[in-house]
A and B are shown apart, each in its own frame.
Chain A
Amino acid sequence: MKTTSGPWMATRASERALGRIGLYAALALAMFFAFFPIYWMLVTSLRPNSEVFAFPPSLLPQTLTLEHYANFIKNPQLLVYLGNSVLVATTTALVSLIISVYAAYSFSKFRYTGRRALMFLVLSAQMFPQALLLISLYLMFSELKMLDTYAVLVLSFTTFTLPLCIWMLKGYFDHIPTDLIEAAKIDGAGQMQIIHRILVPIVRPALVATGIFAFMRGWNDFIYALTLVGKSKQTLPPGLVLTYIGEFQSQWADMMAASLLVSLPLVIAFILFQRQIVSGLTAGAVKG
């Protein structure tokens, strides 16, 4: 037994070691792709301008400076863009959540004529190129005299967030036993009470995940925020490009510092709600 198990055990151990090395190598590679751009943003934001385009480039800055972060804070227009982003993205998330909760509940728990067609109609909004929709939305909002308002941004962003929000929440509602709703009805609860007092607390992780998704859509959009509103109501993505990239300028270090700063709210939100986000995103994925 000893003579046969020894080599077998050794082979098994070396296979495990090799597997582990392969796993770590794959993880290292994945981490490199995930984190190197962030690292490069960080070191670029900490270099003086004269070093940013040094050739050949160096992985570590020769001189450290916080001037690019100070430039962001000292620029009042960037703070206006930041405020607009917070307002528009938060409102988009709230509006998307409110509408999608009712729509998802309806699609999940009721059976009526045209339900499936309506569901796919909602989804079809995701299938049009957004740049194409921009032209028709612009003309429509122009006719309605709604251009250059916060409402026009919220409405546009909500158009694109609703389909996914509704389908994400529907997946979550599908997992809630109908018996629970029936029991509430027997206890005398109306539909609104069922939604607000029973279902919403249950689907809170999904609401967080969906809300973050809608928030990100409003936070990251460039072309709609550039086209539909003027400078005073523009959000950060067009604001940063307007401020740092032009015909004769490319202030990459300032841009990197600003990009890192403005990504902080999303990073903090992810850290605070990561458990809900993960459970919310995965809950609808597997049919129970």
Chain B
Amino acid sequence: MELNRMPLFAWLNLVMAGMVLIAITPLSAAQIMLLIDRYLGGHFFDTQAGGSAVLWMHFFWIFGHPEVYVLIIPCFAFMSEIIPVFSRKPIMFTIGMNSYANSFFTLTTMAVGVPTGIKIFNWIGTMWGGRIQFKTPMLFSIGFLFQFLIAGLTGIMMAASPFDWQLSLSYFVVAHFHYVIVGGILFALFAAFYYWYPKMTGRMLSEGLGKWHFWLFLIGFHLTFDVMHVPGILGMPRRIYTYEPSRGWDTLNFVISIGAFIQALAILVFVANLIVSYFKGDKADNDPWDAWTLEWSISSPPAAYNFATVPTVGSRRPLWDEKHPEDPDSRYE
């Protein structure tokens, strides 16, 4: 396989792996320093002895900020595999908004934050005019798109310094980053579960339970985290143990908690689906979604050796080429 025929999924995970190397090492270094402080009488973070407390904060956030991208980039990878397959868009996908543009924007614009918007347009452009199949993986992918967009918008709100002074360490921040992590990352992960579970186990996850899981989780998520922005704006700090009734936060917090329980119920449905489908799910064939990448060319689940012979890859969609010998992508490369 030539590098320019490697799927976007593999590219994005390569980027993620590189960022893990950069992001985790400062955290490990800081933890070693903390160990030295705690057990060997060091003073790295001990302000009383000339150490610096801010040093820990800097080390922590050298890890913490890239960590968000470490988590979100593999989710972009899931989206970039799942959305085209369920949009049934071979032509636009390869000729219009192609994956070169995708990887270009991913790789170059991490630094500025605009790119995420471009990627969202990219995915919507892929769906545009496609024959969208609303299977569970696609539902979660669409949920991801909208929620990730909103999470990005509240992020921009906090990027404005005056706003940040007001909202820093408030529940608004908690709502924002849960929007990223739950509304974005977790939704993308659920999409990945429903999409690749058949490959991993040889059984399909139940679509019925999957739709229950999706709608319950969607409702619970929005009930909790949409509402959570409001007490933040009203001044509720994060990490507080309790609050005064006169603050007027009671109803809001009650609604947030109800949402949390609906999410928990959805997770129960999901776990039940994973277990029940493992034993009783419909048998999955090699390629249940009519997809294009190599993992769908082998049995579900794959044999220990994966490929008996190393496959020959003529384009970025090798399985499409195999299924459509009359019009393979490799002809256009």
Partners in one complex: no
